[in-house]
Amino acid sequence: MASLKRLLIGKPMETKRLKHEKLPKWKALAVFSSDALSSVAYATEEILLVLALLGTSVFFYSLPIAVAILVLLLLVTLSYRQIIYAFPSGGGAYVVARDHLGTKISLVAGAALMIDYILTVAVSISSGVAALTSAFPGLLPWKVELAVALVLLLMVLNLRGITESATVFAYPTYVFIGFVLVMIAVGGWQLWQEGWHGFTMHEHASTAHMFASGYSLFILLRAFSSGCSAMTGVEAISNGVPAFRPDSSKNAAITMGWMSALLGVMFLGITVLAAGFGVTPTEHQTVISQIGRHVFGNGLLFYLFQLATMVILVLAANTSFAGFPQLTSIMAKDGFLPRSLAARGDRLVFSNGIILLSVLAIALIIAFHAKTHSLIPLYAVGVFLSFTIGQSGLIKKLWNREEGRKFGVLLTVGTGAVVTGIVTLVTMIAKFTQGAWIVIVAIPLFVWMFIRIHEHYKKLGEQLRLDEREWQQREKLLKPKVIIPISGVSKVVAQSVQYARSISDDITALSIIFDEKAEQKLRQKWEKFYPDIPLEVIYSPYRTILSPLLEYITKAEKEADRAPVTVLLPQFIVKKWWHTFLHNQTAIILRFFLIMKKDVVIATLPYHLRE
Amino acid sequence: MASLKRLLIGKPMETKRLKHEKLPKWKALAVFSSDALSSVAYATEEILLVLALLGTSVFFYSLPIAVAILVLLLLVTLSYRQIIYAFPSGGGAYVVARDHLGTKISLVAGAALMIDYILTVAVSISSGVAALTSAFPGLLPWKVELAVALVLLLMVLNLRGITESATVFAYPTYVFIGFVLVMIAVGGWQLWQEGWHGFTMHEHASTAHMFASGYSLFILLRAFSSGCSAMTGVEAISNGVPAFRPDSSKNAAITMGWMSALLGVMFLGITVLAAGFGVTPTEHQTVISQIGRHVFGNGLLFYLFQLATMVILVLAANTSFAGFPQLTSIMAKDGFLPRSLAARGDRLVFSNGIILLSVLAIALIIAFHAKTHSLIPLYAVGVFLSFTIGQSGLIKKLWNREEGRKFGVLLTVGTGAVVTGIVTLVTMIAKFTQGAWIVIVAIPLFVWMFIRIHEHYKKLGEQLRLDEREWQQREKLLKPKVIIPISGVSKVVAQSVQYARSISDDITALSIIFDEKAEQKLRQKWEKFYPDIPLEVIYSPYRTILSPLLEYITKAEKEADRAPVTVLLPQFIVKKWWHTFLHNQTAIILRFFLIMKKDVVIATLPYHLRE
């Protein structure tokens, strides 16, 4: 086990090696935007899949929906640039809400963010596998297995402690950006040459009728919500401001602008090409891969494009492996999650957070059969909820500032908060039955869990605090009353007796026998070796050791008054693992139950077997 | 857990209730012969399945093969009647061999018997499920699941301690016997009316040619070996002699005669009907169920017959649940198997043996997909090996007797031993590639395991024996050196210190810190509360507690000279199970490694949390 761990995870690292690298803008863009930019691999498809409920005749409406999303992106970007300036130490929605909106709202943000991180892994990996299977359809039956394997790979890499900022991770993002921009340019030119041969604005009476109905409007809203998945991850830069070179806030704000511009161009371009070429979503090929095949043909370029898509999606999933453990460690330090999530492992990473994220993402992937489309409805709610909370926190902060309230900034952020709030509500309603209900149920459950954990730690702290007065009262010394359970006289017993004599002079040997006739023989032998130590023999008609022992201890506790009762239990330490099966493990079971049920000290004496 | 156990297993029983009921012959026949008699449900089919390799034209040869098996049955029966008289206290091949042929041969017999018991469960249950699916083909996809469920049911019933001799278990055997005898009578009459319309003795040149080839002879031998599965379980009565009413040997011998006669009639009758009706084995219906359908039609009687077949097969499997734990408990007492196999559970049965048998049988059922036909080749080797050893033991015993050697008896048993020995070899060779090799490999492995276990216990006994001289040398009293690992000052630490003071005055507190700056603050607080107890602070750059602790203990052991080193570890006892996740489980891990690696006493102090 230990050597397997070393092989996978590597040698432990000293705490001193914890350090933070400062990134130039070009690298920071790649590091922080893989999550946001990779969303273009599925966002357009998600819009079309929802519109398909009304028939392909409405596919053209993906274009106005995309434009609406771009407007939303612009609003959020402007708003988050202000967040970057206001919170130069980063932090994200949880910290912002904790410091400015109170504990309860911060816990909602924490829950939303945790769910988001988990979904980012599940969605990105599922989508990455879809990019792979679009190129190699033979792999389709192994979708779930491939996705699980990728999550496990990310887990191991992150337990080793890859630095997210490694230069090697920056290139694939640019490769993907390059591919998409070239695809949009070439595809646009092809479209110019071939003419628009895809979806058009129909003017049928049926269409007009359709849009009059509430159902159709509802579906359009749902398509919009699905498209909003393009915006997941745009907040990443605002969390990572300290990683930028100084002037870090300014550099981060510039980078954020670039990222949003790239995202907008890529998302709109892909949506236009899909409409222009008339691409319809299918089970076996993603929309973006169909566009890629159309533009690049069926040759090497197409396969490289699919590879690039998969790689950026895996990188996007990887960003959660930095964000989730960071968030849970902060929440654990605040006492809202188990403290073990705040402990750094061998390689200085928050190992437990990494493992927890992997387990939860794998559970989601298996439950939803690695289908991006089934996971998306769970996604947007948390993202937009945390957008809303983050911006509200900033408004509160700006408002509380006595002087220098800037009206323009307040208006920008206020608009952002209101709009993202509305989008959150729209998403909740439009996608409720598709799976958003799961998140709506999960968030309050998470918050309830955080509160319960916090209460436990608080009460525990009070209970364990040592005040001086009480401490002085405790200092009474009484020798322990020692009980040695025996089944015969052997070297093991001799060792126990010797130890018992070294710590006390109130010693009793206790033998629980299953056969009444055994008592006489045992007594004789005992008295030969230990005439000064009383031997109690209890006959157990049901051949159980535990209950007579518990009874005896209850009695002993009363007699001992305030002296601590100590039970000595020997434990054989075997030389070969299989020898374990040859020895009675009663001691281990006894130890477990005694310590659960009684206030006795259990002293375990190892007996290292030579053979 | 405990209440689930009570529900399934029932209340514990007192040791005094261990008693043995004496059975009348009619009941003993039913109790001890379900294993042997139930074999007719598959033996004929196994012969035909092997003959099918040569084509259906040779199916007629099932008749002479059946006759050969009947001759063998006669020999073994005569021989085992002598074993009944010679070993009136029962015992079986292992005990007979141990007492008369030496340890090694007894271990071979023990291994063969253990394998046999496991296979009896796997084969009988698989065959029982086949009886069920022959009537209800819709259950075919659930074969393995049904078989596993039946084994688990038998396990639970036997852990409750059903008495094998309960009258309720006697009836199904007679119902099955009745059904088969009626089937043979009615079927024989039908055959008389309809004329022999099944397989006949062909006189084709091809057939003659075929039999000239060695391959065909080999297949015939293999068919014979398969048919020998009819004889599994005939030794059961000889193991159970003490359960008969007096004159027990005589009564057992008479019962044995009856059982063999019934077995012979049923087996021959079924084989004749199969040949006469021209039944060929198929995947979905057993041969015996095809005969049943032919004779009884497709009505209620047929379904009842299938049910009766299934029930007797399950009873046959149940006999192993008496035999296997009995055998393993004897071998465990002899020190060849883990001692836990000799301990009686709550309900006075050898629970561990029952569980072990169930686990192994389930493993076989799953590995062989609950296919009787795949399991049969593993079966006969062990059975005939133990027949051979049992009879050889009797010969040895008779030979060693100074006076009254009866030539007739020696001849009978000698012939039996030689013939079963030959059949063992034939089976090994004819079925080697089909799976007999597994048993041929397993038996020496088991024997090797028995010997290793025995050596371990022997050396252990020597090591633990306390002789008086050595015991007196040990009696030097030195107060333990107590180490208290701490991470701060709290009530838990106060409790540990108080206990430490009650057992020794050589106490050191040890704190392992991950942050060098923490030392100063800790020291100040410590000195305020415990100025008299030295505090050691170790900085652990790799954030591990175990290795610096182990190092410190190594040093402490040297300094302590011969005083025992004692480490005090507190353990939180939580009120709610989920609180476990909120506490560091370091103490448990430390305890495990310390006790494995060092010769230190670990005293665990429970701290029962109020919240």
What CATH number corresponds to the domain at position B160? 1.20.1740.10
DSSP at B598: S
Of the candidates A69, A17, A21, the one whose C-alpha atom is nearest the C-alpha of residue A46 is A69
Looking at residues B206-227, what average pLDDT do you find? Answer: 78
**Which residue in A346, A573, A579 is closest to B542 by CB distance?**
A346
Enter the tokens of residue A293.
């095949």
* Cβ-Cβ contacts under 8 Å, B498 against chain A: 474-475, 477
- B491–chain A Cβ distance below 8 A for any pair: yes
pLDDT score at B398 = 84
Alpha-carbon distance of B289 to A383, in angstroms, equals: 64
Distance from the Cα of residue B570 to its chain's centroid: 42
**Run of H or E including A152:** helix A143-160
Distance from the Cα of residue A575 to its chain's centroid: 40
Alpha-carbon distance of A371 to B125, in angstroms, equals: 42
- A492–chain B Cβ distance below 8 A for any pair: yes
pLDDT score at A21 = 66
- B449–chain A Cβ distance below 8 A for any pair: no
Domain match, A329 and A228 both: yes
**Environment class of B206 (CB within 10 Å of its CB; exposed 0-12, middle 13-18, buried 19+):** exposed
- The residue among A418, A453, A488 that closes a domain is A453
pLDDT score at B91 = 67
pLDDT score at B169 = 75
Q: Is the pLDDT of residue A27 over 90?
A: no
Query: What is the edge-to-edge ordering of all strands in the sheet holding A481-486?
Result: A535-539, A506-513, A481-486, A565-573, A601-608, B601-608, B565-573, B481-486, B506-513, B535-539
Q: Is the pLDDT of residue A9 over 50?
A: yes
Alpha-carbon distance of B301 to B307, in angstroms, equals: 10
Q: Is the pLDDT of residue B486 over 70?
A: yes
Residue A2, domain member (yes or no): no
In the structure, what pLDDT confidence band is assigned to residue B205 with cuts at 50, 70 and 90? very low
Residue A464, domain member (yes or no): no
Domain match, A424 and A559 both: no
pLDDT score at A121 = 95
Looking at residues A432-438, what average pLDDT do you find? Answer: 89
Residue A465, domain member (yes or no): no
Domain match, A194 and A104 both: yes
Residue B27, domain member (yes or no): no
Alpha-carbon distance of B228 to A337, in angstroms, equals: 66
pLDDT tens digits along A164-181: 556 777 888 999 999 999
Alpha-carbon distance of A34 to A315, in angstroms, equals: 6
ipTM: 0.74
**Environment class of A610 (CB within 10 Å of its CB; exposed 0-12, middle 13-18, buried 19+):** exposed
- A1–chain B Cβ distance below 8 A for any pair: no
Domain match, A280 and A395 both: yes
Q: Which of A16-30, A436-450, A531-545 has the highest mean pLDDT?
A: A436-450
- A570–chain B Cβ distance below 8 A for any pair: no
Looking at residues B425-445, what average pLDDT do you find? Answer: 91
Looking at residues B315-340, what average pLDDT do you find? Answer: 90
pLDDT tens digits along B18-45: 666 678 888 888 888 889 999 999 999 9
3-state helix, strand, coil in chain B (%, to 5): 75, 5, 20
Alpha-carbon distance of B101 to B89, in angstroms, equals: 18
CB distance A611–B460 less than 8 Å? Answer: yes
In the structure, what pLDDT confidence band is assigned to residue A205 with cuts at 50, 70 and 90? very low
Domain match, A445 and A536 both: no
Of the candidates A42, A56, A38, the one whose C-alpha atom is nearest the C-alpha of residue A271 is A42
Q: Which residues of B364-376 are buried (b: 16+ CB within 10 A; e: fewer)?
A: bbeebebbbbbbb
Domain match, B298 and B326 both: yes
Cα R_g (chain B), whole angstroms:
33
pLDDT tens digits along B219-259: 889 999 999 999 988 888 888 888 888 888 999 999 999 99
Q: Is the pLDDT of residue A401 over 60?
A: yes
CB distance B504–A501 less than 8 Å? Answer: no
CB distance A492–B563 less than 8 Å? Answer: no
In the structure, what pLDDT confidence band is assigned to residue B588 with cuts at 50, 70 and 90? confident
The dihedral through the CA atoms of B417, B418, B420, B421 has a sign that is positive
For residue B558, the enclosing domain spans 476-608
Domain match, A351 and A484 both: no
Q: Is the pLDDT of residue B407 over 50?
A: yes
- The residue among A453, A468, A490 that closes a domain is A453
Domain match, A114 and A258 both: yes
pLDDT score at A450 = 95
B419 vs A334, B264, B526, CA distance in Å? 81, 18, 84
Domain match, B117 and B242 both: yes
Q: Where are the alpha helices (DSSP H) in B162-247?
A: 170-194, 205-212, 214-227, 236-239
In the structure, what pLDDT confidence band is assigned to residue A362 with cuts at 50, 70 and 90? very high
A6 vs A10, A149, A159, A340, A577, CA distance in Å? 5, 20, 11, 21, 21
pLDDT tens digits along B285-322: 899 999 999 999 988 999 999 999 999 999 999 888 88
pLDDT tens digits along B345-364: 777 778 899 999 999 999 99
Alpha-carbon distance of B135 to B123, in angstroms, equals: 19
Counting the structural domains of chain A, the total is 2
Looking at residues A228-256, what average pLDDT do you find? Answer: 88
Of the candidates A103, A158, A98, A133, the one whose C-alpha atom is nearest the C-alpha of residue A350 is A158
Domain match, B441 and B578 both: no
The dihedral through the CA atoms of B60, B61, B63, B64 has a sign that is positive
Domain match, B440 and B330 both: yes
pLDDT averaged over chain A?
Answer: 86
Task: Provide, rounded to the nearest whole percent, the portion of chain A with pLDDT above 70.
Answer: 93
Residue B409, domain member (yes or no): no
Residue A425, domain member (yes or no): yes
Residue B144, domain member (yes or no): yes
Residue A10, domain member (yes or no): no
- A611–chain B Cβ distance below 8 A for any pair: yes
Of the candidates B486, B509, B491, B487, the one whose C-alpha atom is nearest the C-alpha of residue B556 is B509
Domain at A524, CATH number? 3.40.50.620
pLDDT averaged over chain B?
Answer: 86
- The residue among A420, A453, A486 that closes a domain is A453
CB distance B584–A453 less than 8 Å? Answer: no
Domain match, A351 and A497 both: no
Long-range contacts, stretch B499-503, CB < 8 angstroms, 24+ apart: B499/A480, B499/A564, B499/A601, B499/B568, B499/B603, B499/B605, B500/B568, B501/A477, B502/A477, B502/A478, B502/A479, B502/A480, B502/A563, B502/A564, B503/A479, B503/A480, B503/A503, B503/A504, B503/B479, B503/B566
